[in-house]
Amino acid sequence: MRQSKNILTDKEMELVSLLMQDCHSTGDIQSKLKRLFAGTIEQMLEAEMEEHLGYEKHSIEGNNTGNSRNGYNRKNIISDYGESEIAVPRDRNGEFEPKIVEKRQTRTDEIEHKIMAMYSKGMSQRDIEDNLREIYGAEISQTLISKITDKILPEVNEWQNRPLESIYPIIYFDGIVFKSRKDSQIINKCVYSVLGIDMNGQKDILGIWISENESASFYASICSDLKKRGVQDIFIACHDNLKGLGEAINAVFP
């Protein structure tokens, strides 16, 4: 755990101590990412249903087509983030075959890191489309890629750029490394998540950032982005003491 160079007041230390009683590790980051992951899976399933039926939800183009939406089934899936319940759309004719999570599939086959990477700063629209091709495999059509991208991209942009609180008594840095394909080669990419606890004790994933290497400039870009979105002060930053990260935090939040 790395503490700011400035000495905290007794009141600030009391607040930090109270907040840390309810957050001892980066496990809360996994819990928050699980919700984001499950919601994205549901959006992808909605896009799959639209392609299957040939029209968007509530569109008049669906009138008299011989098939339509018929509510949802609830399903539990297990990922590296834990178990999540998702809503799987169904059609009246019972012909819809989900692709991202198949009917009898309960484990996500490690696609969660690729999906979460789509929320990372540093991912272009083309990167997102390439990720979708990796997730679905060769059988995915360009039409489905476009439908999923159109659903996800606005939410990704809004989530990435939303304003943050001015003060976070505690933030946690957590990084994962996953393999990705680039120019016909398999490379490692690092995805960093930052969880913040605000003055009211509320926990939130402040952002996700992706890079092909961990460097001081990468960490500085994370801290600068937090500041640009409204963060003015951090009392305590918890991380694995990676080279350059502590220096970047202290430089941006002196």
Per-block average pLDDT, block size 10, for the chain (254 residues)?
52 63 61 87 95 87 85 93 92 94 87 86 86 85 92 91 94 79 74 88 90 82 95 90 85 90
Identify whether residues 51 and 63 lie together within a single domain.
yes
| Domain total in the chain | 2
Q: How far is the first Cα of the chain from the last one, in angstroms, to the nearest whole number?
A: 16
Identify whether residues 70 and 136 lie together within a single domain.
yes
pTM of the model: 0.79
Identify whether residues 65 and 134 lie together within a single domain.
yes
User: For residue 228, what pLDDT is reported?
Assistant: 96
Buried b (16+ CB within 10 A) or exposed e, 132-144: beebbeeebeeeb
User: For residue 11, what pLDDT is reported?
Assistant: 63
Identify whether residues 6 and 72 lie together within a single domain.
no
Rg of the chain's alpha carbons, rounded to an integer?
21
User: For residue 1, what pLDDT is reported?
Assistant: 42
Identify whether residues 51 and 147 lie together within a single domain.
yes
Identify whether residues 65 and 149 lie together within a single domain.
yes
Identify whether residues 207 and 247 lie together within a single domain.
yes
The residue out of 140, 160, 180 marking a domain boundary is: 160
- Determine the Cα–Cα distance for residues 49 and 87; give it in Å rounded to an integer: 12
Identify whether residues 103 and 63 lie together within a single domain.
yes
Best CA proximity match to 53, nearest among 86, 88, 94 = 94
The residue out of 121, 140, 160 marking a domain boundary is: 160
Best CA proximity match to 249, nearest among 175, 194, 197 = 194
The residue out of 137, 160, 183 marking a domain boundary is: 160
User: For residue 3, what pLDDT is reported?
Assistant: 43
Helix (H) / strand (E) containing 89: strand 82-91
Identify whether residues 20 and 34 lie together within a single domain.
no
User: For residue 62, what pLDDT is reported?
Assistant: 76
Buried b (16+ CB within 10 A) or exposed e, 7-25: eeeeebeebbeebeeebee
User: For residue 4, what pLDDT is reported?
Assistant: 43
- Determine the Cα–Cα distance for residues 18 and 200; give it in Å rounded to an integer: 11
- The residue range of the domain holding 225 is 2-25+164-252
User: For residue 19, what pLDDT is reported?
Assistant: 60
